[in-house]
Amino acid sequence: MSRPSRTKCPHCGSSFPIRNSVELNPLLRRFHAQCSNVECGFTAQGFFQIEFELSPSGTPNPEINLPPSPHKNRNTQVSRV
């Protein structure tokens, strides 16, 4: 199992853990994060959004339709030349 990603506070560089998140739809989550440095105290809201498909699912959800990554399209075009 992979380790959770480590995000740093944009102000002081301390760890910036996500305190909670809410699924808005299968491809979008809103999160709240809080700096672990009590002297900094920065808190923020952000979004995690899935935008492109890099590799297809082995068990696809028919309701999810993601475009392929533009980077993936570039690599396909280059390999054809």
**pLDDT tens column, 23-56:** 999 999 999 999 999 999 999 999 999 999 999 9
State the pLDDT confidence band at 72, using cuts at 50, 70 and 90: low
Q: What is the CATH number of the domain that holds 26?
A: 2.20.25
Average confidence (pLDDT) over 52-74: 90
58 in any annotated domain: no
Structural domain count, the chain: 1
69 in any annotated domain: no
pLDDT at res. 2: 57
* Cross-strand pairs, 15: 8
Where in the sequence is the domain holding 42, given as residue range(s)? 1-50
Query: Residue 50 CA to chain centroid, in angstroms?
Result: 6
pLDDT at res. 5: 65
Query: Residue 60 CA to chain centroid, in angstroms?
Result: 19
59 in any annotated domain: no
pTM: 0.72
8 in any annotated domain: yes
Mean per-residue pLDDT of the chain = 89
9 in any annotated domain: yes
